[in-house]
Amino acid sequence: MAMIAFKCPDVTVVVVDINQARIDAWNSDALPIYEPGLEEVVQACRGRNLFFSTDTHKHVGEADIVFVSVNTPTKTRGVGAGRAADLTYWEGAARMIAAVSKTSKIVVEKSTVPVRTAEAIEKVLTRNNSHPGVRFDILSNPEFLAEGTAMEDLAKPDRVLIGGRDDEHGRAAVERLASVYERWIPTERVLRANLWSAELSKLTANAMLAQRVSSMNAISALCEATGADVEQVSKCVGTDSRIGPKFLSSSVGFGGSCFQKDILNLVYICESGKVSVFFHFGSGLFLPLARVRARAREIEKQKKQLTLYPRSLSVSLSLSLSLSLFSSSFTHSSVGLTQVAEYWHSVVAINDYQKQRFVSRVIEAMFNTIAGKRIAVLGFAFKKDTGDTRETPAIDVCKGLLADRALLAVFDPKVTEAQIHEDLHLEKFAWDHPRGGAGASGPDASPSTPRARDVEVVGSALEACRGAHALCVMTEWDEFKGLDFEKIYASMVKPAFVFDGRNVLDHARLREIGFIVYGIGKPLDPFIKKD
């Protein structure tokens, strides 16, 4: 949204959030997120045509276009738990928009959502619209951004995708939003599609990118077994013009907020089929009648997991909102796409396997036990140039090492100590849900707990490695390449191990110094290789 304000100085952009602390941070010199180039853009526009506010009702009511960027986390309970997207926050956002709108608006999906979500949201908006003559046009405008390069991606995107209904009003709404982007993006890069195609395109793009990563990670295991070098294989494959070199680097696994979540959402859609929506109204429901009896039996089996309660959230919208919302659910009619679901689920399975395999390599190499041994973990963010830890492979790797009673010393130049402890405390898929004060500041994350006792967050890579038996590179930060490894080696317990989960270090040089080195998909060190 900051980029729209930057490129369109005559357009007023208001980002709203119910979290006062977050809005205060956006209005300060210490922005709440780290993204290269973001601070400069915000400072250039803030107070001119970019504003941050907690007055959601005022600004949403006055807006012509409302970009909704609420969380769509993976459900942790109930129907579709562990796969389906939780659309609680989207439903609540729609209800609020309908309640405060006295003029017609274009409502834009920015969150990654299941296919046909727009149809469901449209029903919420129209059925809660109390002002005659007010019209809501729903558009899908998914983001195709990468943390660390987001500002560059926004300034010079490969494409901008806008999906809308194929009718007079829908086409007009699409063109109105397109006219904003075409202020700085070539027209041919602003793509038009129908709503469902736009929604599915985002899921598909992330799934296919993740598929490339998982494919090379699967090959990395074969490389280690045969003596091949995955980097050489990747280079050879990437020179094929039909394939290209991007997303072919093998690693300990992919992370981030989208890849795994979107694939699992895609799996759920394939397993379950066409969306038909039902909503909770207080303690009541309405469902298509034909499905009530069948769904009731399923819900009865899971009733101990189902909880209806208000939830608070903290989210950001452009010209719009975040707020406390009520629970909603989406169910599907089966179309039997089991094979398709299994195909995409295998992408996630390989990613989990890669992390498990890395942990096993560490334990097996270090004489099959790491209990009481200090292991330095260099990097915790899911990739370099970001402080984002959502679904970072470091979480599962650290939990795997802790399960074998290792002592961890963690360093990341952008991730805070509180965030690291919170991430290691949370259950799977909980990171995107409101936690009501639990987490790093809660009692379970206090220094008295075993996990916190076993995890030390330090201020430098050298400090993390001091007295360590091994170091594990979990994030490809450039600064790790230039570390004084001779000094690090001298400070470590011998034999000293390096487990390079990103293949960013000079392995030959490390072996010259005296390290025992393991790289993903690289020929195994004689010390590690089994006869």
Measured distance CA(403)–CA(408) in Å, rounded = 11
What pLDDT, in 10s, does the model give residues 498-510? 999 999 999 999 9
- Quote the pLDDT of residue 388: 93
Measured distance CA(133)–CA(269) in Å, rounded = 35
Q: Using alpha carbons only, give the angle 48, 50, 55 rounded to the nearest 5 degrees.
A: 120
- Quote the pLDDT of residue 432: 66
Measured distance CA(431)–CA(74) in Å, rounded = 10
* Integer angstrom CA distances of residue 301 from 80, 219, 283, 306: 13, 41, 18, 10
Token code pair at residue 349: 């399975």
- Quote the pLDDT of residue 265: 86
The gap between the terminal CA atoms of the chain, to the nearest Å, is 57
Cβ atoms of residues 75 and 105 within 8 Å: no
Residue in the block written with tokens 């939830």: 311
Class of CATH domain 2-199: alpha beta
> Is 472 noted as a catalytic residue in this protein?
no
* Integer angstrom CA distances of residue 406 from 371, 375, 489: 5, 7, 20
What pLDDT, in 10s, does the model give residues 200-223? 998 999 999 999 999 999 999 999
- CA 88 to chain centroid: 18
* Phi, then psi, of 362 in degrees rounded to 5: -60, -50
Which residues, including other chains, have CB under 8 Å from residue 241's CB and lie 6 or more apart? none
Q: List the chain domain ranges.
A: 2-199, 341-519
DSSP string computed for 285-302: E---HHHHHHHHHHHHHT
Which residues, including other chains, have CB under 8 Å from residue 280's CB and lie 6 or more apart? 308, 326, 327, 328, 329
CA nearest 192: which of 230, 154, 140, 240? 140
Token code pair at residue 152: 């560059």
Measured distance CA(100)–CA(108) in Å, rounded = 16
- Quote the pLDDT of residue 312: 31
Assign 3-class secondary structure to 322-337: CCCECCEEEEEECCCC
- Quote the pLDDT of residue 120: 84
Low-confidence ranges of the chain (pLDDT < 70): 273-336, 431-452, 531
Residue in the block written with tokens 């969150």: 111
Measured distance CA(461)–CA(410) in Å, rounded = 8
Measured distance CA(500)–CA(513) in Å, rounded = 16
**2-199 against 341-519: fold identical:** yes
Sheet holding 50-53, edge to edge: 50-53, 13-16, 317-318, 65-68, 105-109, 136-140, 160-164, 190-194
Which three-class secondary structure state does DSSP give residue 350? helix
- Quote the pLDDT of residue 336: 67
Of the listed 45, 223, 236, 258, which one is catalytic? Answer: 258
* Integer angstrom CA distances of residue 362 from 87, 473, 498: 39, 12, 9
What number does CATH give the domain 341-519?
3.40.50.720
- Quote the pLDDT of residue 451: 59
* Integer angstrom CA distances of residue 163 from 123, 190, 366, 383: 17, 11, 53, 30
- 3-state helix, strand, coil split of the chain in percent (to 5) is 45, 15, 40
Angle between the N-to-C axes of helices 117-127 and 195-226, in degrees from 0 to 180, rounded to the nearest 10? 140
